[in-house]
Structure 1
Amino acid sequence: MMNLRQIEAFYMVAKNNSFSKAARELHLTQPTISTNITNLEKELGTPLFIRSTTSVALTENGEKLYIQAKRIVDATKMIDRIFDRKREREMRMEIVIAASTVPAQYLIPQILLEASKQDKSLQFRLIECDSEEVANKVGNQLVDIGFAGSVIENRYCKYLPFYDDELIVVAPNNPYYQGIQREHRDIRWIEGERIILREAGSGTRKEAMRVMKRLGIAEENLNIVAIISNPLTLLQSIAGGMGITVISKLAAQKYIEDGTLLGFSLGEGGAHRAISLVYNSKDNMSESAQQIQRAIERLYP
């Protein structure tokens, strides 16, 4: 639904003929401005700007909207003056983050809390998606920063690894799998099992397939019975006896500790992947994004 932030973003971009200038004047990040404009265009069902690499200009429908948007923004400024809200509005800085499932659910809450301790004016908007979509959003400057569990090829994405995550095989805790665990079988035993995997764009799946290929296990030899994107649903399916999976130890740890599931290392020495902070190499990180980076450095030195 159309909202005041979208109207303000549209007005300031049109007034300045620039997304970056609008972002500075509204004390928002450029990806936030871009998202507001995109959502407004979707809501109205029409493009509002003609974009080029060097400038932006209003479309015919954009020109129709401009005068109405100006009236709304002027009225908002008047309300701000009456109720002295201007200072509070200007102090808030929103940072838009795209994150794949494992970092979003198990690492980012603590990172955002740490960043907030240093700067209480920060606002966060978290978009949870798979690692491929994280790279797409960061590369296209739709978000400020990202977090991903796999390095996806993108010329504009820079990856800064900060957390070592182990991938493990997880199975129901029943006598059959207890026997396999006691026997310390070669990891190729999984070829004969019913396997549930994450979606194709998942960093967990991509890294798991790389490790299995290195161990001589071909994806076409796996008995894949289901694709489940949500780790919680996946783990509950495993607990119910539907099959086995390869998943982050972060996600499965609680279930293993309480005896619901069994965990198996993926080959000799286990399988590890890096969780990374992702940013666009074309731009310097904003000050608010740098605060996230500093929070990570404090938590994971």
Structure 2
Amino acid sequence: MEFRHLEIFLAVAETKSFSKAAKHLFLSQSTVSSHIKNLESELQKPLFIRSTKSVELSPDGCTFLRYANSILEMREAALEALNAPSETILRIGASTIPSGYLLPRLLRGFHDSHPHTFFDIQQGDSGEILEKILDGSLELGFIGKKEDTPKCVFLPFCKDDLVLALPANQYYFHLLNQNPPIQEILKEPVILREQGSGTRKAADLYLDSIHLSPENLNVIARTNDLESTKRMIQNGMGISILSKYAVKDLEAQGVILTLPLESGIHRSFYIVYRKDNPLKSAFQDFIQYVKCQDFS
């Protein structure tokens, strides 16, 4: 298997067309087709479902897509590490809340004192970032849940609380003024985060503590896009259990209401890295900087 095979596979998967992929890669369509056939022959799996009108990934193709992306990301990381001052490159993965609401301030502050630092940031849910740490395509991660794996170090650096986020309209103002139990409020239309997110895991733990399950809720949408969730709430579509950091901005603007969830369930955000991967001094300095910050 060659890197070129993977690059061609990804181009066809993205464009859903052999001809468009060929044009993008400055190759003939027959060359693209030949590379894909060779790759499918080597894997002994059909990667695409072909018809006269479209080209779609097969189930095996969808599985292979994730690994092909990781392999090429690892190649790019290796080339960067070999051709640039490795002490100045911080290759970091972050789940949604750290990426959007914690890292920007941290990166700015650290860069002010380390102006020659270059940041390579990738976002995914907590499970995706941990997977990239484990396969070596990322060196440091900031995630919202701790997994049971002996291969990694998890350093808590920031605590988070869940809030119930509601539309700031007359209906919900009136509802909250009646001070109903949380079980009654959760009968309203609910928007859930995706399964892989730390927020969803914490929300499920909270629901379990009050003897509810997602199946008991009036779920009207599930999404892996936090900003979309916030906008749906803002536009009156429903309510959601979210991180307090995620809704600070809209709460300050008065377009979302928040209700603290009284429970013993609190979660932490973690810095994660592999135990068998000695961290360069730049990473160690960054970790120390993060641990000294006040997130209150």
**TM-score, normalising length from structure 2?**
0.69
3-state DSSP of counterpart to 1:107 = helix
Q: Which residue number corresponds to residue 97 of structure 1? A: 92
Equivalent residue in structure 2 for 1:125, among 105, 120, 136: 120
Counterpart Cα distance in 1 of 2:273 and 2:85: 25
Judge which range, 119-128 or 283-292, deviates more.
Answer: 283-292
> Per-residue displacement from partner, 1:163-201 (whole Å, max 9, x unpaired)?
111111111112221123223222112441111111111
Q: Which residue number corresponds to residue 281 of structure 2? A: 287
1:299 aligns with 2:293: yes
User: Do 2:199 and 2:243's aligned partners in 1 also have CA atoms closer than 8 Å?
Assistant: yes
3-state DSSP of counterpart to 2:164 = strand
Name which one, 1 or 2, has greater alpha-carbon Rg.
Answer: 1
Q: Which residue number corresponds to residue 213 of structure 2? A: 218
Q: Evaluate the alpha carbon distance shift between residue 173 and residue 153 of structure 1 in structure 2; reply closer, same or farther with a 3 A threshold.
A: same
Report the AA paired with residue 174 of structure 2. Answer: G
RMSD: 2.6
Report the AA paired with residue 112 of structure 1. Answer: L
1:246 aligns with 2:248: no
Equivalent residue in structure 1 for 2:203, among 181, 193, 208: 208
**Superposition deviation, residue 281 in structure 1:** 1.7
> Per-residue displacement from partner, 1:244-279 (whole Å, max 9, x unpaired)?
00111111112112211110122357x521111111
Q: Which runs of 5+ in 1 are unaligned?
A: 1-37, 48-72, 74-87
Q: Which residue number corresponds to residue 110 of structure 2? A: 115
Q: Which residue number corresponds to residue 192 of structure 2? A: 197
| 1:23-42 equivalences in 2 (<5 Å) | 42=6
Q: Which residue number corresponds to residue 31 of structure 2? A: none
User: Do 2:87 and 2:280's aligned partners in 1 also have CA atoms closer than 8 Å?
Assistant: no
Judge which range, 251-260 or 200-209, deviates more.
Answer: 251-260
Counterpart Cα distance in 2 of 1:221 and 1:277: 34
Counterpart Cα distance in 2 of 1:278 and 1:239: 33
Counterpart Cα distance in 2 of 1:161 and 1:263: 25
Identity %: 29
Q: Evaluate the alpha carbon distance shift between residue 196 and residue 287 of structure 1 in structure 2; reply closer, same or farther with a 3 A threshold.
A: same
> Per-residue displacement from partner, 1:32-54 (whole Å, max 9, x unpaired)?
xxxxxx9666226799xxxxxxx
Report the AA paired with residue 225 of structure 2. Answer: N
Q: Which residue number corresponds to residue 172 of structure 1? A: 167
> Per-residue displacement from partner, 1:97-155 (whole Å, max 9, x unpaired)?
11001100111111112222232221111100001111111122220100011113333
Report the AA paired with residue 188 of structure 2. Answer: E
| 1:251-270 equivalences in 2 (<5 Å) | 251-268=246-263
User: Do 1:145 and 1:278's aligned partners in 2 also have CA atoms closer than 8 Å?
Assistant: yes
Report the AA paired with residue 139 of structure 1. Answer: L
Q: Evaluate the alpha carbon distance shift between residue 291 and residue 41 of structure 1 in structure 2; reply closer, same or farther with a 3 A threshold.
A: farther
1:142 aligns with 2:137: yes
Q: Evaluate the alpha carbon distance shift between residue 39 and residue 172 of structure 1 in structure 2; reply closer, same or farther with a 3 A threshold.
A: farther
Report the AA paired with residue 116 of structure 1. Answer: H
**Superposition deviation, residue 92 in structure 1:** 6.7
Q: Evaluate the alpha carbon distance shift between residue 155 and residue 261 of structure 1 in structure 2; reply closer, same or farther with a 3 A threshold.
A: same
Q: Which runs of 5+ in 2 are unaligned?
A: 10-34, 40-78
Judge which range, 137-146 or 151-160, deviates more.
Answer: 151-160
> Per-residue displacement from partner, 1:193-239 (whole Å, max 9, x unpaired)?
11111111111111111111112111210111111222211111111
**TM-score, normalising length from structure 1?**
0.68
Counterpart Cα distance in 1 of 2:4 and 2:88: 21
Report the AA paired with residue 90 of structure 2. Answer: I
Counterpart Cα distance in 2 of 1:120 and 1:227: 41
User: Do 1:215 and 1:267's aligned partners in 2 also have CA atoms closer than 8 Å?
Assistant: no
